Amino acid sequence: MPPVVVQTEHLTKKFGSFTAVDDINMSIEEGQVYGFLGPNGAGKSTTIRMLCGLLAPTSGRGLVLGMDLASNGQKLKEKIGYMSQKFSLYPELSVIENLNLYSGLYGLRGAEKKKRIGEMLELAGLTGRENEPTASLSGGWRQRLALGCAILHRPKILFLDEATSGVDPKARLLFWEIIYDLAANGTTVMVTTHFMDEAEHCNKVAFIYYGRLIADDSPDNLKQKLPGRLYEISCPAPMELLAKVQEGAGGEFIDSYFFGDKVHILAPAGRELRAEGIFEGCRVARIEQSMEDVFVYLVKSHAHDDLGAGRISGIGSATAANAKAAKEEAKK
């Protein structure tokens, strides 16, 4: 079994009376790609800043690479890589000047520095473009350069905080290929993202909601925990259909919500939907659960507890009572 490189116990961060991260317990093994998901303001970035030694916990304990967060913050920074959504580059500098700057900060010198910079230029696909101004690079190229700067010192663990935001889908795909290569060579990667398709590619996924961890498992296991049967309904008037469903015209459902221009309905396990009744004239298809469906279900399951009462909007109107009933039914 691979060694555990990140371990937290009751990790908590408060800002005055506001609890940003609340009693988090997590464990990440060496070489894993660990996805950390949640809505804006859920506590993702605060958690990562604590794990990087940039922010002291209010209470609880955290170990990263065997080092306690409370007493080894500076030493920890030398062993990890960190990349944010803003990429942390100096746009007025050239590609090579950014790499030289970061290699100096990491204490690289001489032949080793030259070797590492060459490796990062190749990794980023920027060989031959060393003297170009960083400001002139597209978002995807800046992203790969920022990653190269973050791993010049060959960190054992890499924290990526919304690092795939703001770039086109092709650039995101290429970026993930690099992440997989790093993980295959033993680097542990913890990545926060709001792209649900990226969560599918992680070894483990954790969901944080208003500071608390509400799920932590492999994507396959999380999808299997979704109760009932999931259907996708395509119709000419999805808004009207969803309104009817949520008014109870089609009977009892566990959940219902928009999914792009379609409607997703989570029906009880023994119920089969057909293109009849309120669904007449619609295309009704039973589908496999996606991580986006899991995310919606998890968030709405906690919509009326002490975490998020009254704070859920824009994702349908299934109640926490329905979610609770489905969970109880699944246990029988």
DSSP character string of 31-77: T-EEEEE--TTSSHHHHHHHHTTSS--SEEEEEETTEETTT-HHHHH
User: pLDDT-based confidence at 232, cuts 50/70/90?
Assistant: very high
Structure-model confidence comparison of residues 85 and 296, the more confident one = 296
Structure-model confidence comparison of residues 178 and 165, the more confident one = 178
Using CB atoms within 10 Å of the CB of residue 112, give its burial: 0 to 12 exposed, 13 to 18 middle, 19+ buried. exposed
CA dihedral sign, ordered 179, 181, 184, 187: negative
pLDDT tens-digit readout, 108-153 = 999 999 999 999 999 888 999 999 999 999 888 898 899 999 999 9
For residue 3, what is the DSSP state?
P
Please tell me the distance from the alpha carbon of residue 190 to that of residue 194, in angstroms, as a whole number: 14
Residue range 210-231: mean pLDDT, rounded: 92
| Domain end (from 187, 203, 222) | 222
| Domain end (from 222, 242, 270) | 222
Q: 204 and 74 share a domain? A: yes
277 and 233 Cβ atoms separated by less than 8 Å: no
Residue range 248-261: mean pLDDT, rounded: 91
Q: 252 and 315 share a domain? A: yes
- Total tally of structural domains belonging to the chain: 2
Return the structure tokens found at 21. Answer: 């991260």
Q: 194 and 257 share a domain? A: no
Question: Distance of CA 12 to CAs 1, 21, 173, Å?
Answer: 28, 5, 34
**Residue linked to tokens 């303001």:** 41
For residue 140, give the H/E element and its range.
Answer: helix 139-150
235 and 283 Cβ atoms separated by less than 8 Å: yes
Q: 210 and 250 share a domain? A: no
| Domain end (from 163, 196, 222) | 222
Closest CA to 294 of 329, 236, 268, 255: 255
Residue range 53-72: mean pLDDT, rounded: 91
Q: 218 and 94 share a domain? A: yes
Average pLDDT, rounded, for the chain: 87
Say if residue 270's pLDDT is above 60. yes
Question: Distance of CA 43 to CAs 13, 24, 119, 217, 295, Å?
Answer: 9, 10, 34, 18, 16
Largest alpha-carbon pair distance within the chain?
Answer: 75
Q: 8 and 50 share a domain? A: yes
Residue range 212-225: mean pLDDT, rounded: 92
Helix, strand or coil for residue 226? coil
Say if residue 190's pLDDT is above 80. yes
Give the model's pLDDT for residue 313: 32
Of 158-172, 257-271, 278-292, least confident by mean pLDDT is 158-172
pLDDT tens-digit readout, 315-325 = 333 333 444 44
Q: 174 and 189 share a domain? A: yes
Give the model's pLDDT for residue 315: 36
Say if residue 203's pLDDT is above 60. yes
Please tell me the distance from the alpha carbon of residue 326 to that of residue 52, in angstroms, as a whole number: 39
Return the structure tokens found at 249. Answer: 């015209």
Using CB atoms within 10 Å of the CB of residue 54, give its burial: 0 to 12 exposed, 13 to 18 middle, 19+ buried. middle
Q: 95 and 28 share a domain? A: yes
Enclosing domain of residue 282: 226-331
Q: What is the pTM of this model?
A: 0.84
**Residue linked to tokens 């979610």:** 323
Q: 168 and 268 share a domain? A: no
Q: 211 and 256 share a domain? A: no
Give the model's pLDDT for residue 247: 93
Residue range 205-227: mean pLDDT, rounded: 92
Return the structure tokens found at 219. Answer: 């994507």
We report the CATH number of the domain holding residue 132 as 3.40.50.300
Q: 128 and 201 share a domain? A: yes
Q: 129 and 169 share a domain? A: yes
